[in-house]
Amino acid sequence: MAEWTRRELLAGVAGAAAVGAAAPSASASSSKRRASRGRPFVLASANGARFRNGGPRTAVEEAYARLVAGEDPLDAAVAGVAINELDPADDSVGYGGTPNADGVVQLDAAVMHGGRQEAAGVAALEGVRTAAAVARAVARESQDLLLVGAGAQAFARERGFAVELDLNTDASRRRWQEWRRRRDAEHAGDGDAARQAMVARGELDPLHVGGTIHLAARAADGTLAATTTTAGLAFKHPGRVGDSPVLGAGLYVDGATGAAGSTGLGEANLYGLSCFLLVEELRRGRHPKDAGIAVLRRIVAETRDPRRLDARGRPNFALAFYALASDGAFAGISLYGKFEGYAARFAICDENGAEERDCDYLIAESRA
């Protein structure tokens, strides 16, 4: 596929009255995937099919099994992502997640239920491994939509969640110590430069520098629910909150229309409440793939900060969406098909079992 310049990308949205007017997209695949009607279905970021925490199932398999058993889709989704949150091998979420600049693991999460007005998020939560379950408790047991920091932790403790002094593992603490050493010894205190140096050396997965697992579940009756949970940007400023716990940014569910969630650089997603925008594109009749590409074009057009652009004027970050329409159409859509050499993928689980698939994309590779 021919490489796209920033000028060409912007030309695709220039003059458009709305995102829906964006030009046709570049894509990894022309297929329009659709899940079977009247059957449970699970869609997730790729790490939803890669970790088991010593058990028999991955996140997508756990969520699917619970849907088949008749469990509520939000409960199924939260139980699914808990596998990743509890598994220290997944350093993007929960226990053993990459800590902030002070060496503290702070977690963000949100939930939404498409069949009920049930939604909430928690941010900068310390000491509780399963942030998505805390967000569900906020949604069901309070009238708040977002609890943060010490308040979120106090709520969790009141509701019986185990609160620990430290969610670091030996591995996560070593990563933080290496980052701090590089920041101070090699990069004159520049934490962003130190983080990029670790990516360049293969010490951090560039697709998971921003952490996160998203999982959407559809029950047999068509009810949709979703959750997004994360440890956030690696070595972030203490208190930094990305898109994951913000309704409309890290996820959005409209029971009559569809669900969308995101992984990648939260700041790029927060700016335009991109998951809400994607679901609105579904409402206008777009297939999830086309809706995602349209939203990514808009993000490219709105990314003008030179710190977020590469030498060619293109975004220097990874960002992906996972979209599931109420009619069963679904897609994983990534800004880059390959970012820093890593392929963008997503996971599904249905009656045929779990599998990973390549994302559709806007731009083939992050490097020429």
What does the pLDDT read at residue 140? 97
Looking only at the bridges linking them, the beta strands covering 345-350 and 353-358 are antiparallel
237 Cβ contact list (under 8 Å, min separation 6): 100, 101
2 pLDDT above the threshold of 90:
no
- Report which of residues 224 and 22 the model is more confident about: 224
20 pLDDT above the threshold of 60:
no
21 pLDDT above the threshold of 60:
no
CA distances from 115 to 74, 93, 221, 274 (A): 10, 27, 10, 21
What does the pLDDT read at residue 292? 98
Mean pLDDT of the region 213-233 = 97
What does the pLDDT read at residue 77? 98
Window from 33-42, 111-120, 290-299 with minimum mean pLDDT? 33-42
What does the pLDDT read at residue 34? 83
What does the pLDDT read at residue 341? 87
CA distance 268 to 265: 6
CA distance 296 to 294: 5
C-beta of residue 261 within 8 angstroms of C-beta of residue 226: yes
C-beta of residue 49 within 8 angstroms of C-beta of residue 364: no
What does the pLDDT read at residue 162? 98
Q: How confident is the model at residue 31 (pLDDT cuts 50, 70, 90)?
A: low
Q: How confident is the model at residue 22 (pLDDT cuts 50, 70, 90)?
A: very low
**Where is mean pLDDT largest: 49-58, 186-195, 334-343?**
49-58
CA distance 247 to 235: 24
344: helix, strand or coil: coil
C-beta of residue 119 within 8 angstroms of C-beta of residue 142: no
What does the pLDDT read at residue 16? 34
102 pLDDT above the threshold of 80:
yes
12 pLDDT above the threshold of 50:
no
Q: How confident is the model at residue 35 (pLDDT cuts 50, 70, 90)?
A: confident
Residue 367 sits at φ, ψ, to 5 deg, of -130, 145
CA distance 158 to 54: 29
Catalytic residues: 212
Mean pLDDT of the region 57-84 = 98
Here the tokens at position 368 are 């020429």
Q: How confident is the model at residue 135 (pLDDT cuts 50, 70, 90)?
A: very high
Mean pLDDT of the region 221-245 = 96
26 pLDDT above the threshold of 50:
no
Give the mean pLDDT of the chain: 91
262: helix, strand or coil: strand
Q: Which domains does the chain have, with CATH numbers?
A: 6-365 (3.60.20.30)
**Please, what is the Cα angle at 234 between 300 and 60, to 5 degrees?**
80
Q: How confident is the model at residue 337 (pLDDT cuts 50, 70, 90)?
A: very high
Comparing CA positions, the residue from 75, 132, 76, 138 lying closest to residue 109 is 132
What does the pLDDT read at residue 25? 44
pLDDT tens, position by position, 290-322: 999 999 999 999 999 999 999 999 999 999 999
- Report which of residues 34 and 259 the model is more confident about: 259
18 pLDDT above the threshold of 50:
no
Q: How many CB atoms lie within 10 A of CB 75?
A: 18
14 pLDDT above the threshold of 60:
no
C-beta of residue 140 within 8 angstroms of C-beta of residue 75: no
Percent of the chain with pLDDT over 70: 91
